[in-house]
Structure 1
Amino acid sequence: MSSRVADAPGAWPLLGHLPQLRRGPLEFMKSLSGHDALLRIRLGPVRAYVVCEPGLVQQMLREPAVFDKGGMLFDKARQIVANGLATSAWTEHQRQRPLVQPAFTRARLEAYAPVMAQETDALIDTWQSERPVDIVEQMVTLFARITARTLFGSDLDRASIATLQQALPVVVEGVYRQMTAPLRMWEKLPTAANRKYHRAAADLHAVIDQFIDELEGVQGDRPDGEDMLSALLEAREGQDRLSGAEVHEQIFTFLMAGIETTANAMSWTLHLLARHPEVQERLHSEITDALAGQVPTLKDLSRLEYTRGVLTEAMRLYPPVWLLTRATTADTSLGQWRIPAGSAVAFSPYMLHHDARLFPDPERFDPDRWCPPRGDKASQRGLFPFGGGARKCIGDVFSLTEALVALVAISTRWRLTPGPGPDPRPVAKLTLAPDRVIAVAHPRPSPRDGHGSGRR
């Protein structure tokens, strides 16, 4: 067994690979592909291992107690969301997950699906024929409202939506900026960016506290308890239950995952459809034939193979989270390499998703990769949009469901073409966001009555 891991090429004196990571993180990650399956990079004084082969990633994800949440990404994120399910250490995660799981049962998803469709219909009712649509802004609004109704069981007022729209991107950018800061003291300096970041985080926490206080005040008058917050407040595992602070932390995590990442995934999907009319036409045909304008159930969604392939391929090209890190809790090994305890280990879904050895012609938007007869288990071994293993995102099915419901509702009513201006540029922060997506909306004939259903 080899004990020496090769250093990634191109390190600068003192700064290591930090300039490349700050200047062009996606290009830097892709440049590591094709070398060894495991490489070592330097970020200033910090050393980290980067896993470049899906088999080693799977091995790492199968050993969550040894490759625990931590490293440059999660240590920073934990400062914001504290001990939420996505960032907690493995021991605490094992306790939390059974308490959080009741919020994501199939029965609850069945109840959430009509809410998702209602909110999407309400949003796209405001679109105007042949007029440009700011897709990113609209998707953040949509998933903020869906998250509010499924999470809190109530509508968000305009002020709360505005807070989420303004604060979430600032927090996401701030965490990534601090994650890649060359000096740890950088985050403590009273810079304008740091002050903005701390204000945004405080605003998000205030919105959560407001909803928790309101729900706890009327809990006895809400027999249904179908929202996630009610499930968290009521959840027990034996005599254990989540504390008030832990409920807050889980809600913060769900806000980040339920709005920012899903809005990004849908924005990229709609951009790709607008740029590929032949794909959009096939998707429209499948939705029309399968649903005839009806609101889809979970069973209906499972039959939309091509529609699901479109979303999967968009997440392959633009995975919502492009970089994930772990910290080793003991001396261990990956493949032929020894990894000492206390090491930072990272892998990039973006890098793996763009590896030509895993996905031929990787820059091509090709939803048929995921549909019969080509789609199979082997083709999925390098796909990691939601992580994997025992710490795979607990809300993966929820996120896919709300994205598919929204995609069906939008595609039933509207056909999209590219809007004015350049194509969007991917911005790698904590998530992989487009800097802009502008599309022009054209009403489609209704499957029910043959008439255009968009507002003119």
Structure 2
Amino acid sequence: MPAVVERISSRVADAPGAWPLLGHLPQLRRGPLEFMKSLSGCGALLRIRLGPVRAYVVCEPGLVQQMLREPAVFDKGGMLFDKARQIVANGLATSAWTEHQRQRPLVQPAFTRARLDAYAQVMAQEADALTGTWQAERPVDIVEQMVTLFARITARTLFGSGLDRASIATVQRAIPIVAEGVYRQMTAPLRLWEKLPTSANRKYHRAAADLHAVIDQFIDDYEGVKGDRTDGEDTLSALLEAREGEDRLNGAEVHEQIFTFMMAGVETTATAMSWTLHLLARHPEVQERVHCEIAGVLGGQVPTVKDLSRLEYTRGVLTEAMRLYPPVWLLTRSTTADASLGEWRIPAGSAVVFSPYMLHHDARLFPDPERFDPDRWCSPRGDNAGQRGLFQFGGGARKCIGDVFSLTESLIALVAVSTRWRLTPGPGPEPRPVAKAVLTPDRVIVVAHPRPSPGPDGGGSRPTGRRTGPRA
């Protein structure tokens, strides 16, 4: 059987442009997004070489869906998750399938509808508080502001309290460094490289240690006051109280899940919202449609989870932004046994790669793929064939457990921004996508112009925003 597997696997085409010895690592280092897009149309399944390692790249959405439906065979692993486990350990996003099956029921109670309703109130409070500090007609550093917002939301929903200023500063500084370090180590030409005491490696390990220290401090503080707590509506409570028969998460596992949620809840969501606000600032007609829909549906009221389902166009804007700039742009798997994928056979122990960014920019799935077009996702066009090529939250049994949570906090943030402010592009160059573990913009600067605040009947009354204070 192994000989047959190898013979059939040899029919998979090799991606063009490999360098001697290094293979395709130089392309992944210099221009990873362009490299992944260049593979589209070269074949449904390709092989690339990353130094001594060979990997299969899945370029057709049907094959990706097949792979995601077989999580026991195409398990979490490969370059990305092997490196991420060094930091996140055995959290839900990185654990092997067997352990994931045990963990998921224990973690699921943290994401019930009742908890999401309670979380939504926290999200609205934090979004309103942050956008209320922006200065009228002043530039706003959107990336910094979104990291701050989602760090505070994540802290309050995880622990039931806000981060102090020092902890917020730690999270803001450390998470992008960790995300960049994971990708840098993933694409290192030699595995020895990650062990060298370079400045970048030392910075990476310090940032990871700082995040772990913040989590440990929160858990210690929680344990110290849990007898005085009465709400029990935070994620940490749900994780500590979850039971499946006699099974429960131990202290180390709770820490690992919290670290996973902190990375996912801050970096990916802040990135998605930064790109969304960048696109709105540069498409004023789309921005006005969003504002009108929000005003018409909410009438100036604080949104609930039920209200958000009626914001079809606003949801389409967020979906389209995540199509163009999927925060998780590259994912890897490792085969636990000889596997079939379409007409091909893949040997056990193979690295398998797929890129939501590549699929989201495939003109065969999304006509005029570089155009920002939220109507792709709205009726009557919302049932188009591109739906099968959208992977902003993964898919299958290992689809992101926090997908509804993330969409909810993103929509609530959009409501807060759009109700108070009209955005225009700020000074400086266009944002440049930086492909790390997350596809983040290098900068997003906008200018905030106040809108009239809605009156009791949804009409305008007084303008919002302050004109004094330092430049943002």
TM score, norm. by length of structure 2: 0.96
User: Is 1:86 matched up with 2:97?
Assistant: no
Contact 2:178 2:207 in 1 (8 A): yes
Q: Which moved more, 1:14-23 or 1:376-385?
A: 376-385
What SS class does the counterpart of residue 375 from structure 1 fall into?
Answer: helix
Q: 2:218 aligns to what?
A: 211
User: Is 1:397 matched up with 2:378?
Assistant: no
Root-mean-square deviation (CA), in Å? 0.9
Which residue, 316, 327, 332 being the options, matches 1:325?
Answer: 332
What SS class does the counterpart of residue 123 from structure 1 fall into?
Answer: helix
What SS class does the counterpart of residue 394 from structure 1 fall into?
Answer: coil
The equivalences for 1:101-112 within 5 A come to 101-112=108-119
Q: 2:66 aligns to what?
A: 59
Q: 1:340 aligns to what?
A: 347
CA apart distance, 1:256: 0.5
Counterpart CA distance in 2 for 1:303 and 1:79 is 41
Which residue, 194, 199, 205 being the options, matches 1:198?
Answer: 205
Counterpart CA distance in 2 for 1:6 and 1:450 is 64
> 1:260-306 CA deviation, whole Å, 9 max, x = no partner?
00000000000000000000011111001111111111111000000
> 1:29-88 CA deviation, whole Å, 9 max, x = no partner?
000001110000000001000000000000000000000000000000001000000000
Q: Which amino acid aligns with 2:466?
A: R
What SS class does the counterpart of residue 309 from structure 2 fall into?
Answer: helix
What SS class does the counterpart of residue 84 from structure 1 fall into?
Answer: coil
What SS class does the counterpart of residue 146 from structure 1 fall into?
Answer: helix
Counterpart CA distance in 2 for 1:426 and 1:275 is 16
Counterpart CA distance in 2 for 1:173 and 1:347 is 19
Q: 2:369 aligns to what?
A: 362
The equivalences for 1:150-161 within 5 A come to 150-161=157-168
Counterpart CA distance in 1 for 2:288 and 2:295 is 11
> 1:16-40 CA deviation, whole Å, 9 max, x = no partner?
0000010000000000001110000
CA apart distance, 1:378: 3.2
Counterpart CA distance in 1 for 2:173 and 2:295 is 36
Change (3 A) 1:53 1:398: same
User: Is 1:279 matched up with 2:286?
Assistant: yes
Q: 1:169 aligns to what?
A: 176
CA apart distance, 1:230: 0.8
Q: Once the two structures are aligned, what percentage of the paired residues are identical?
A: 88
What SS class does the counterpart of residue 381 from structure 1 fall into?
Answer: helix
Q: 1:293 aligns to what?
A: 300
Runs of 4+ in 1 over 4 A off after TM superposition: none
The equivalences for 1:127-142 within 5 A come to 127-142=134-149
Q: 1:454 aligns to what?
A: 465
Structure 1 unaligned regions, length at least 5 = none
Change (3 A) 1:242 1:377: farther
CA apart distance, 1:377: 6.2
Counterpart CA distance in 2 for 1:377 and 1:317 is 17
Q: 2:193 aligns to what?
A: 186
Q: 2:28 aligns to what?
A: 21
CA apart distance, 1:349: 0.1
CA apart distance, 1:379: 2.7
Q: 1:42 aligns to what?
A: 49
Q: Give the length in aligned residue pairs.
A: 456
CA apart distance, 1:455: 1.9
> 1:356-400 CA deviation, whole Å, 9 max, x = no partner?
000000000000000000011633100000100000000000000
Counterpart CA distance in 2 for 1:117 and 1:195 is 38
Counterpart CA distance in 1 for 2:304 and 2:230 is 24
Q: Which amino acid aligns with 2:462?
A: H
Q: 1:309 aligns to what?
A: 316
CA apart distance, 1:223: 2.5
